[in-house]
Amino acid sequence: MQTLVDHHGRSFPYLRLSLTEACNYRCTYCLPDGYQVNGHPSFLTLAEIGRLVCGFAALGMSKIRLTGGEPSLRKDLPAIIAAVAAVPGIRRIALTTNGCRLPRLVRGWREAGLTALNVSLDSLDAARYLDITGHDRFAEVTEGIEHALELGFEAVKINAVLLRGRNDDELPAWLDYLRGRDVALRFIELMRTGENGEFFERHHVRAEGLQRQLLADGWMLRPRAADAGPALEYAHPDYRGRIGVIAPYARDFCAGCNRLRVTARGDLRLCLFGNFGISLRPLLQSDDDHHALVAHIATQLGLKAAGHGLHQGLTGITPHLASIGG
């Protein structure tokens, strides 16, 4: 089996695959005006997704994260999960969701083969949650998380984007929440995109301060698995849950990059904030193109840069995070 290694010595066992650009939320940091339909979007079909994952699995990919937009908007999501789970070599299938459909659908996803779940929950205060997301669904999401914790997932994680003046004072509440729950909380530093410049200037808070506070309070950094996401994860003997911090503006953040992305329209993105996409869709129309697909993917790693340009204010062609499952 071939493996994906770039010119900087980084290997890539982890693929983030967007299933749709559509989202039913209006999160202030991502899609404050909601999802805007542009023409008649044609997202990857079930058959195309199957061929795509087979191609990446042939190159050593073992972990697939299904993202959006909001992936639960796809009615064929259970079939997609099952198709990915059936690909030889794929050992972990994760899903990132806003959680609004968890109470009704999460059991079906688990039975289809989903092994890990990430749920967006930017606040433990229902009023703040409404203010940030534009939807009054806090009760449904938190109920869904509790349900998911009973289904035997390898991991259940919660994503919270750090926002100055909106939720950056909630660490005490989160600590109470984590004390007795086997869940990993991910604090994500707000990233600048092509469309959120003004919002970023008002609400960006560096994650480094949070990391210093955790260490001062006795939280200990855990070893990072080869196929782990970008979070640095901390544990504390007094808490069942863990805390992860994703700090894209930290020095050497990109040195540990181990993931590639494919958009809902079939474009390979070597970096979330890259300046170009590479269309794979023409090679997803027939099983006969498998070897050509594998070769095409493998040759693109030479174009992957050592790091993003966020420190210089360069956001590439990413208008908002929902467009690429950020």
Q: Within a domain: residue 321?
A: no
CA distances to 171, 192, 264, 266, 324 from 30, in Å? 22, 10, 17, 21, 11
In a domain, 4, yes or no: no
Residue 3 lies in a domain: no
Per-residue pLDDT 10s for the chain (326 aa) are 567 887 777 788 899 999 999 999 999 998 888 888 776 679 999 999 999 999 999 999 999 999 999 999 999 999 999 999 999 999 999 999 999 999 999 999 999 999 999 999 999 999 999 999 999 999 999 999 999 999 999 999 999 999 999 999 999 999 999 999 999 999 999 988 777 888 889 999 999 999 999 999 999 999 988 778 888 999 999 999 999 999 887 777 666 677 899 999 999 998 765 555 899 999 999 999 999 999 999 888 766 655 544 444 444 455 555 554 55
Q: What's the pLDDT tens digit per position in 50-95?
A: 999 999 999 999 999 999 999 999 999 999 999 999 999 999 999 9
DSSP string, 255-313: GG--EEEE-TTSEEESSTT-S--EE-GGGGS-GGGHHHHHHHHHHHGGG--SS--GGGT
Return the ∠ at Cα 321 (arms to 102 and 256), rounded to 5°. Answer: 95
Residue 5 covered by a domain: no
CB 31 within 8 A of CB 25: yes
User: Alpha-carbon distance 164 to 184, whole Å?
Assistant: 22
Residues tagged in the binding site annotation for [4Fe-4S] cluster = 23, 27, 30, 254, 257, 271
Residue 306 maps to a domain: yes
Q: What three-state secondary structure class fits 83?
A: helix
> Would you call 114 helix, strand, or coil by DSSP?
coil
Q: Domain total for the chain?
A: 1
CA–CA dist 281, 255 (Å, integer) = 29
The domain that contains 126 carries what CATH number? 3.20.20.70
Over the Cα atoms of the chain, what is R_g?
19
Tokens 């997932």 -> residue: 153
Contact 142, 121 (CB under 8 A): yes
Write the DSSP symbol of residue 150. T
Cα distances (Å, whole numbers) of residue 225 to 150, 217, 219, 229, 246: 24, 24, 18, 9, 15
Query: Does residue 69 have a cis bond before it (omega within 30 degrees)?
Result: yes
Residue 160 contacts residue 167 (beta carbons within 8 Å): yes
Annotated binding site: 16, 23, 27, 29-30, 65, 69, 96, 120, 157, 191, 254, 257, 259-261, 271
Binding-site residue positions for GTP: 16, 65, 96, 157, 259-261
| Structure tokens belonging to residue 102 | 């968890």
Q: Is residue 200 part of a domain?
A: yes
Domain-located, residue 326: no
Q: Domain range for residue 46? A: 14-312
- What distance in Å separates the CA atoms of residue 100 and residue 209, rounded to the nearest whole number? 31
Residue 192 lies in a domain: yes
* Torsions phi, psi for 200 (to 5 deg): -60, -45
Which residue positions form the known binding site for S-adenosyl-L-methionine?
A: 29, 69, 120, 191
